[in-house]
Amino acid sequence: MTAADQHAWAEPGVEDLGGGVYRIPLPLPINALRAVNVYALADGDGVDLIDAGIALVQAREELAKGLRRIGYELGDIRNFFITHIHVDHYSLAAELRQTLPGVVALGEGERANLIAIRELAHGSRERFAADLRRLGAMELAPRLAALDGGRGPGPGAGPWEDLWDSEPDRWLTDGTDLDLRSRTLRAIHTPGHTRGHIVFHDAAASVMFAGDHVLPHITPSIGFEPAGSRRALYDYLSSLRRTLALPDARLLPAHGPVTGSTHARVAELIAHHDDRLEQTRAAVQAGHATAYDVAKAIRWTRRHRAFGDLDLLGQFLAANETAAHLEVLVIRGQLTRETSADGTDRYQVAAPAA
């Protein structure tokens, strides 16, 4: 597959997926992702959206253009069903509902993230500094301090701070059935990428609107959220197994092309994390004690790049994700963790059971 073919899904336009479902990719100012898929569910009287894109003029214009191609205007949006709180999924919905009638719905597990984002947006930097100390990554601090005034690369960064001050119109609980005019969607809690991430399963049509829970070409970042959890990867692996327990469905991801089987990709993701867990354990056994040091000892991306070849945000994400893998190994009893006086987590191989 050529690079052009791999990124064809991100080209502007509308893809008719059949049954009144349309995929509208909206641009992102993030080279690694290029676009986010917004799914329009149309039934003649109006349209409901799965995710909404980022609150930038170009994204709003592309969304309006895409809706017009299928016969609707922005004012015809009835509901924004948002998979998670990240700015590329939530912020345009939060902006549009200030002047339009659409209802914004978000998983109730994101309450803690919304509160934490507000704290960051209003100048609280201590939490981010504590995260760097926990990871043993304080050497990244001077460069990260140049990002967004030192608040760090969080989902509240950027020109969207006022959008976090209001609540969504509706909090969705796990297992909620959304009875739309043309279909029923079930909201399923899938924590890991964020603590409140949800997917929307259309059992009758065998379709999974997967958000960032299952992506076809990349592995989702784990626990990249202001209200972080040590258990993020453990929860994510449990969420993947929960997805396997559902009937297989067509995968409609937030980033990347539509593919035929959610189960097939979930199996690949589980295998990837099994491999990464073994690499992580081996790095600790070799003497690397902090998440940052372990991250530097292993390879990254499908190209097996060295840690030093990653950009600044990539290095932070790699260290954060390594910490998530280390915690799974602690939960499984393969490693132990001690926190030093300066707040740095250090890991070592657990002693054999007596």
Delineate the domains of the chain, giving CATH numbers in brackets. Answer: 3-117+156-269 (3.60.15.10), 285-349 (no CATH)
Closest CA to 90 of 49, 42, 125: 49
pLDDT by residue for the chain (354 residues), tens only, comes to 455 577 899 999 999 999 999 999 999 987 678 999 999 999 988 999 999 999 999 999 999 999 999 999 999 999 999 999 999 999 999 999 999 999 999 999 999 999 888 877 655 566 777 888 999 999 988 887 776 554 555 545 556 777 888 899 999 999 999 999 889 999 999 999 999 999 999 999 999 999 999 999 999 999 888 888 899 999 999 999 999 999 999 999 999 999 999 999 999 999 999 999 999 999 999 999 999 999 999 999 878 899 999 998 889 989 999 999 999 999 999 999 999 999 999 999 998 866
Q: What is the DSSP letter of 52?
A: -
Contacts of 136 (CB under 8 A, 6+ apart): 289, 290, 291, 292, 293, 319, 344, 345, 346
Pairing status of strand 170-172 against strand 103-107: parallel
Q: What's the whole-model pTM score?
A: 0.92
Determine which helix (DSSP H) or strand (DSSP E) holds 346, and give its type and residue range. strand 345-349
CB distance 241 to 202 below 8 Å: no
User: pLDDT at position 1, please?
Assistant: 45
What tens digit of pLDDT does each residue of 49-72 get? 999 999 999 999 999 999 999 999
Q: Which residues pair with 23 in a beta bridge?
A: 15, 39
Give the pLDDT confidence of 243-282 residue by residue, as tens digits. Answer: 999 999 999 999 999 999 999 999 999 999 999 999 999 9
Cα–Cα dist 68/40, whole Å: 12
Provide the greatest CA pair distance for the chain: 69
